[in-house]
Amino acid sequence: MNINNNTFEKFRFTVSKHGILMAIFIAMVFEILRFFNIFPPSQLIVVTTFILVAILSLMYILIQKSNIKLIYIQWISLLSVITYIIFQTALVDYHKFLPIWIDFSIIIAFLIMDKKYALGLSFYSLVGIIFIYNLGVYKLDFFSFFTLLFSIVSFSILGYVISLQLNKYEEDNKRQKEKLKQLVLLDELTQIFNRRAFFEIATKLLKQANRENKKISVLMLDIDFFKKINDTYGHEAGDEVLKKVTCIIQKTIRENDIFARLGGEEFVILLYDVDIFDTKNIASKILEAIRKHKIIYKSNKIKITMSIGIYCIDTLNTNDNIKEFLLKSDQALYEAKNTGKDKYVFYKEEK
């Protein structure tokens, strides 16, 4: 029954995973270029690149393990990349375009992380750049330094806006899924569980009853002479009766009983943790409440009655299934219909 689809989580996971791979790739390319003397060789930079690649590779291995929180991996990876860039910016003098990678990392952070974590990274970048600049080892002039700070702030604002929009989509998506779930599980007219939901939930409840050694009862309910109501007052009146009957029954049963509309004017109730006396009691209460209630439709007073077939189960086996129980209560319902209606009948084992 798990319809909860986490498309956005999948997106964040995929971007993180491939982002780590991409960062490793870019770092390696720079090292290869350095190897061919396209960039000036520097032992310190080779060492820091090695450390970065080692951390990122570890993160790439860890991200595949489901027991580690994604946010830790994202955080460590982005923090390492940004620290590496700040460090490199301070060390090398071919730095003109290097700081752009910080802006890029910040945008990625807003795409894959919660806003507050991404903002934390922006703040870290700003502090890091200012710190390095104040150390005097930073090789950019003041104007370029200022441009870099300005770009980090601008990209953070852009990232924040993107993140807000993404969150909005995510919320809408969740709401739509919730709606879809209701459409799939609820009966449109009465807004109680439909046949499909009943089978799913009842199957789980049977297992629980078996584990907890609880008794259950399955009640099949059917409105008497419903066709006549439709024929006399119209289909809309029939619908009104179905809704009213649902309300009346809902008031009679407990919250943890399952109540569903199987289709047409047929309902089912699964009573949990009840013996035969409780079941009789509840069935009589339902019949009486329905009998007493007059449904008013366009100034017509419609009187209705119901018939109930009941199957009580004392001890459940692991291989019991709800379909079989429904058949038995249906058999009892058939007898109730044939012996006068407006009554309940218990299923009797044929000898």
Check residue 230 for interaction with ligand GH3 (CB under 6 A).
yes
Amino acid at 286: I
**Integer Cα distance of 145 and 79 in angstroms:** 20
Shorter beta-carbon distance to Mg ion: residue 40 or 340: 340
Residue 38, exposed/middle/buried by CB under 10 A (0-12, 13-18, 19+)? exposed
| Interface residue with ligand GH3, options 148, 265, 302, 313 (CB under 6 A) | 265
Q: How far is the CB of 329 from ligand GH3 (least distance, A)?
A: 15
| Interface residue with Mg ion, options 226, 311, 325, 347 (CB under 5 A) | 226
| Interface residue with ligand GH3, options 24, 59, 216, 223 (CB under 6 A) | 223
Check residue 337 for interaction with ligand GH3 (CB under 6 A).
yes
Check residue 124 for interaction with ligand GH3 (CB under 6 A).
no
| Interface residue with ligand GH3, options 170, 239, 273, 278 (CB under 6 A) | 239
DSSP 192: S
Task: Work out what residue 200 binds among ligand GH3, Mg ion, none; the CB cut-off runs from 5 to 8 Å by kind.
Answer: none
Q: How far is the CB of 348 from ligand GH3 (least distance, A)?
A: 20
Check residue 347 for interaction with Mg ion (CB under 5 A).
no
Check residue 267 for interaction with Mg ion (CB under 5 A).
no
Task: Work out what residue 170 binds among ligand GH3, Mg ion, none; the CB cut-off runs from 5 to 8 Å by kind.
Answer: none
Q: Residues near 258 by Cβ (< 8 Å), separated by ≥ 6?
A: 193, 198, 201, 202, 205, 268, 269, 270, 272
**Integer Cα distance of 226 and 191 in angstroms:** 20
Nearest to 258, CA basis, from 183, 199, 325: 199
Check residue 222 for interaction with Mg ion (CB under 5 A).
yes
**DSSP string for 222-277:** EETTHHHHHHHH-HHHHHHHHHHHHHHHHHHS-TTSEEEEEETTEEEEEEES--HH
| Cβ-closest position to ligand GH3 | 238
Q: How far is the CB of 200 from ligand GH3 (least distance, A)?
A: 22
Q: How far is the CB of 293 from Mg ion (least distance, A)?
A: 17
Check residue 264 for interaction with ligand GH3 (CB under 6 A).
yes
Check residue 226 for interaction with ligand GH3 (CB under 6 A).
yes
Distances (CA, A) of 120 to 109, 148, 264: 10, 17, 58
Check residue 335 for interaction with ligand GH3 (CB under 6 A).
no
Q: Which two tokens stand for residue 93?
A: 């003098």
**Integer Cα distance of 32 and 36 in angstroms:** 6
For residue 263, the cross-strand partners are 266
Residues in touch with ligand GH3 (CB under 6 A): 189, 222-227, 230, 235, 238-239, 242, 264-265, 337, 341
Interface ranges with Mg ion (CB under 5 A)? 222-223, 226, 265
